[in-house]
Structure 1
Amino acid sequence: QEAGVIFDVLVVGGGATGAGTALDAASRGLSVACVERGDFASETSSRSTKLIWAGIRYMGTATAALLSPKLWQHPVDTVHQFVGEMKMVWHCHVERRYMTSVNRHLCNWIPIAVPFNSWHISPPPMGHPLFGYFPFLAPVVFKFYDALSVFTCPPSYVLTKSRAQRDFPQLDPDGLKYAAVFYEAQHNDSRTNLAIAMTAAEKGAAIANYTEMVDLIHNEAGRVVGAVVLDRMTGKQWKVYAKKVVLAGGPFTDQLRSMEAGKIPPAVRGSAGTHIVLPGYFVPHNMGLLDCNTSDGRFLFILPWLGHTLIGTTDKKGPAETLQNPPEDEVVWLLKESQKFLRKDLKVRRSDVLSAWRGWRPLAVDPHATADSPVSRDHVISENPESGVIFIAGGKWTTWREMAQEVIDRVVGPSGPPSLTLDIPLHGAEGYENNLAIQLIQRYGMDTTVAEHLVKTYGGRAWEVCELMQPTGKAWPKFGNLLVEGFPYIDAEVLYATREYACTIEDVLSRRTRLAYLNRDAAVAAIEPVADILARELGWTAKAKEQQIQAARNYVESYSGR
């Protein structure tokens, strides 16, 4: 921080929303700083169901509310709520289209089958009797869902019982009537978050992870004019001044707000969701499954992800925590629910759980809203009239860009520069093309799975990773030394991770690669080789290296496994 420098905006939080806010501000020409106390995506943004989904559930709840007795009791409010919900769904479709068209290197379409074993569901999904007939309605509903994307997504279709045995052989054919199939976008959430942060830096944002806000700076009038920040790697503190401070701490936002002067009413609470990861053979590699009516009425996704099977999620209110520590009863519940539509001879066992994790969604209300203000079902942007601090919380992965745009619109006002992010490709888009993996194989003589992984992870930047590779000493593959057998991660990625702000072993195992999320035991095995590479690259002392190894072991052990 140079003496006398005052940023236009200081963003506190480096998850998808915080990094996106920094990107939006920087791309408008504002001077912006962004600090994150941990790593980018170290909390909520790396622990999602990995979908850029366009709000199929919100469409259902909106329709259920419209067709309820509330329509006759409070017609104006009910219709207004329905319109608001459908606008939110429309915005989700716009944002999903941005990700799948402008950022193809980060997203792929995934067909999701909704199987039906009867022509009437009881109890009905979302508690409305109309949805008891969803087996009849599903094909029409999903075509309408396609239409909201102006048919830019692959078309939904009907999967007959006979075709299901071919395309989804893990489905139990006994009693199966048919399955309705629709499409959502899928991504690697921590890598998307990192791409947003890297793009913000490319646009001029001063952005740093492991830099924690420890206090807010108030002027004599009580307005916040900056923050005291701590470099958690070195222990150094300094002051960052800004004309406007935006808090984007997800479920930890109230902890940040507590540093404002005066009484701060609570606004954000957490809702924990557990996911489990199983071997990939429980679903086809190119199709997922949605149970829209679990035993407690929630949606449950069973999806192929990075060669594995991802199942989630649960929903339990509670204070947010940093370590994973998924509750065992939730792991068991997910296993039990996932067996519902699978063949009886395909047992889903506790020993099949390779990894399990837990993340917290922020549920927000506006503490500064007037009594007649509408309640948001989506995200909340609120400004403290006394301190001038703005916080943003809530929302979902799909709408990260929209949320960032809205908060910077609030900062600059109606006469300020407009947002440009809807046309900005994220880090890795340049140089990406469909045949890039083939080009890498032909140039470097690497394994096909490694090449495909590098392209999917780094996009056009895969060339930069390959330039760091060392020969394997084998006839084939010639390049690409694996960190752990059975996974496509290579040692060159650890080196490249340091160019992507990685500071710890945990950063590499959890978010630059996804090894800890896929297989806890494999992540434990990779700790030592990753530590060796990082120690050489970052200049760790022997003591620092041992501390890093112990910290990584403690973190990886917080995941549940076999």
Structure 2
Amino acid sequence: MGTQLNENGRSAALKAMSDDEGVDVLVIGGGVTGAGIALDAATRGLRTAVVEMQDWASGTSSRSSKLVHGGLRYLYQLDFALVAEALRERGRLLRTMAPHLVTAQPFLWPLKTPVIERAYSAVGVGLYDALAILGARGLSVPVQKHYSKAAALRLFPQMRHDSLAGAIRFYDARVDDARLVLALVRTAVGHGALAASRTQVVDLTKDPTGRVTGAVVADLETGEERTIRARQVINATGVWTEQTEALGGAQDGLEVLASKGVHIVVPKDRVRGETGLFLRTEKSVLFVIPWQRYWIIGTTDTPWTESRQHPVATAEDVDYILEQANAVLDPALTREDIIGVYAGLRPLLQPGTKGDDGGQSSTKVSREHTVAEVTPGLTVIAGGKLTTYRKMAEDAVDFALGPRARSLPSVTATTPLVGAAGFAATKRRAARIAGSHGWTAERVEHLLHRYGSEISTILEMIDSDPELGRPLPSADAYLGAEVAFAVTHEGALHLEDILLHRVRLSYETRDRGVSALEEIAAIAAPLLGWDSARTSAEVETYRRQADAEAAAERQATDAAAEDARLTAGDVVPVRDLPWDT
């Protein structure tokens, strides 16, 4: 199946989705929920279109804790159904849908007291394991293991001796969130969906009865407007939910608040430990998560009342994370250790619908997400989390279809994403791949867990152009072929698309990837048909944005930090609409 996302395919998709035939389902929003809905609808045989006003995964879905987890803390709220649902989805991702992108990850839970806390925590983690085994119909990750204080310190030598009396090891999973979204969109395209990024919905169309019949979209790359006719429109815009609802004239839609979550990134050698850490804090939880070359530590949870396109971290956010991490780490982390910082917004769904007494028959509510028809023809979904995106997508499409859903059930629970089919067999060739290309085992592991069985396409690109097999001089963890693949297969239209969501130097290096800009541009520019002036403009825009985000992190307040970021502007500005906040 053809799963390529690129500039030509985007233009063709825009033309097709705005033809006279129209589409069965138009999805607004290209984060993990919208991408999941597009895949769900397309695999039911529906003519499906999905549009995103920025790059794919440019909002919440590229700025998460990058975990696929059941939510251990929900067990203490006795929300067993929610945890079971999330663990069932975790098992599906690990085993079937995305085993190349989702990796089992052990965490150490430090215990403060040796008997009472260990006893009730063991029961909680044991229930977590049991729910996972029942949901996945088998063991997808190892079960809990208990450690004495001395054994826990051998497993994680950098833990402060006075911070624990023992520990429990349990498993969850980690994922590159943006790559998961890209895989969902590409898989949807492979099943016939029409997909266009940098495409902003500027109005919703209605028939004389007031039913929503489609949308007017602006191609932000060209300025051209198109009208898309749709039998059902599904709004999956996260923290922009209310603004998108307003286009349809909804008075009693879903209410979504924004909460900012910040993470810091430190080099792998700066923290000595063989597992991740799960730390309960006064406010919430803090994760210390190992990746191949670095650790991600977070998160915060503070209200965000500024505009929603560019959430940024402040000095206070960074200090808070350091303080929480250093409560258990010795030697402590300092600001000099930080190589990256990123901030994202969580959509906090408020109960019911605005003006609703809680009894609307048009609303389907779970513990974490809600689906509602806020005006005829416009279905809205909000809430939830990355782990349960597939179930959210199934619920949204079921709701939009109504009685038709019984004859067109969802099949996404058994549908592998691009790169998943044949992954187990491809992994067994890892040593041969490394030997034939002169790569380390770590290099091949990096490629396998980014591309899965599509590593064969990367190898074909290198065979055609051996220069693409060389590491980037200023970012040697990545090959030139990965930059090229970002453009030819993953829909990158700009340098920021590559550095923020594909070759993720924006938070993996101290300079946010600026030192690698020229060499990345040298590969991407010919593929995108840029002349020297356009290439220079793209480089300069990214430099300004990197400088602006660094300046934001020195500010004391959200308002000051946002002002600092907005000085840089955008490579492709979204349109200002009356409801923008």
Alignment correspondent of 1:23: 39
Q: Which amino acid aligns with 1:401?
A: R
- Superposition pairs for residues 445-484 of structure 1, below 5 Å? 445-469=438-462, 480-484=469-473
- For 2:74, which of 58, 64, 67 is the aligned residue? 58
Name the SS for the 1:301 alignment partner.
Answer: strand
Alignment correspondent of 1:546: 536
1:438 Cα deviation from its structure 2 partner: 1.9
Matched residues in 2 for 1:198 and 1:312: separation?
30
Matched residues in 1 for 2:264 and 2:371: separation?
32
1:141 aligns with 2:146: no
Alignment correspondent of 1:106: 101
Matched residues in 1 for 2:515 and 2:172: separation?
34
- Superposition pairs for residues 3-18 of structure 1, below 5 Å? 3-18=19-34
- Superposition pairs for residues 133-532 of structure 1, below 5 Å? 133-150=116-133, 151-174=139-162, 176-261=164-249, 263=251, 267-284=255-272, 286-292=274-280, 294=281, 296-319=282-305, 321-343=308-330, 346-365=331-350, 366-367=352-353, 369-372=356-359, 377-384=367-374, 386-416=375-405, 417-433=408-424, 434-469=427-462, 480-485=469-474, 487-498=476-487, 499-521=489-511, 523-532=513-522
Alignment correspondent of 2:524: 534
Matched residues in 2 for 1:420 and 1:175: separation?
47
Matched residues in 2 for 1:489 and 1:211: separation?
29
1:443 Cα deviation from its structure 2 partner: 2.7
Change (3 A) 1:469 1:558: farther
Name the SS for the 1:341 alignment partner.
Answer: coil
Name the SS for the 1:521 alignment partner.
Answer: coil
Alignment correspondent of 1:128: none
Q: Which amino acid aligns with 1:389?
A: L
Unaligned runs of 5+ in 2: 1-14, 134-138, 555-581
Change (3 A) 1:108 1:265: closer
> What's the RMSD between the two structures over aligned residues?
2.2
1:376 Cα deviation from its structure 2 partner: 5.1
Matched residues in 2 for 1:521 and 1:185: separation?
29
Change (3 A) 1:549 1:145: same
Output the TM-score relative to the length of structure 2: 0.85
Aligned residues with identical type, % of pairs: 35
Does the 8 Å CA contact 2:75/2:124 hold for their aligned counterparts? no
1:442 Cα deviation from its structure 2 partner: 2.5
1:98 Cα deviation from its structure 2 partner: 0.4
Does the 8 Å CA contact 2:212/2:376 hold for their aligned counterparts? yes
Name the SS for the 1:233 alignment partner.
Answer: coil
Change (3 A) 1:175 1:506: closer
Matched residues in 1 for 2:114 and 2:275: separation?
23
Change (3 A) 1:487 1:49: farther
Judge which range, 183-192 or 546-555, deviates more. Answer: 546-555
Output the TM-score relative to the length of structure 1: 0.88
1:261 Cα deviation from its structure 2 partner: 2.7
Change (3 A) 1:559 1:108: farther
Does the 8 Å CA contact 2:368/2:383 hold for their aligned counterparts? yes
Name the SS for the 2:399 alignment partner.
Answer: helix
1:459 Cα deviation from its structure 2 partner: 0.5
Does the 8 Å CA contact 1:43/1:322 hold for their aligned counterparts? yes
Alignment correspondent of 2:113: 118
Q: Which amino acid aligns with 1:309?
A: W
Matched residues in 2 for 1:471 and 1:410: separation?
47
Q: Which amino acid aligns with 2:66?
A: K
Does the 8 Å CA contact 2:265/2:341 hold for their aligned counterparts? yes
1:333 Cα deviation from its structure 2 partner: 0.7
Change (3 A) 1:502 1:334: same
1:214 Cα deviation from its structure 2 partner: 1.2
Matched residues in 2 for 1:265 and 1:162: separation?
54
Deviations 1:157-179 (A, max 9, x none): 11222222322111123463111
1:26 Cα deviation from its structure 2 partner: 0.5
Alignment correspondent of 1:47: 63
1:265 Cα deviation from its structure 2 partner: 5.4
Matched residues in 2 for 1:372 and 1:472: separation?
62
Name the SS for the 2:471 alignment partner.
Answer: coil
Matched residues in 2 for 1:228 and 1:484: separation?
44
Change (3 A) 1:261 1:275: same
Change (3 A) 1:370 1:264: closer
Alignment correspondent of 2:6: none
Does the 8 Å CA contact 2:277/2:288 hold for their aligned counterparts? yes
Judge which range, 38-47 or 411-420, deviates more. Answer: 411-420
Change (3 A) 1:184 1:331: same
1:221 Cα deviation from its structure 2 partner: 1.4
Does the 8 Å CA contact 1:53/1:92 hold for their aligned counterparts? yes
Does the 8 Å CA contact 1:272/1:314 hold for their aligned counterparts? yes
Change (3 A) 1:157 1:262: closer
Judge which range, 33-42 or 150-159, deviates more. Answer: 150-159
Change (3 A) 1:142 1:88: same
1:40 Cα deviation from its structure 2 partner: 1.0
Matched residues in 2 for 1:450 and 1:425: separation?
24
Q: Which amino acid aligns with 1:355?
A: G
Does the 8 Å CA contact 1:428/1:460 hold for their aligned counterparts? yes
Aligned length: 519
Name the SS for the 1:502 alignment partner.
Answer: coil
Judge which range, 534-543 or 45-54, deviates more. Answer: 534-543
Name the SS for the 2:218 alignment partner.
Answer: strand
Name the SS for the 2:472 alignment partner.
Answer: coil
Change (3 A) 1:212 1:285: farther
Change (3 A) 1:166 1:472: farther
Name the SS for the 1:111 alignment partner.
Answer: strand
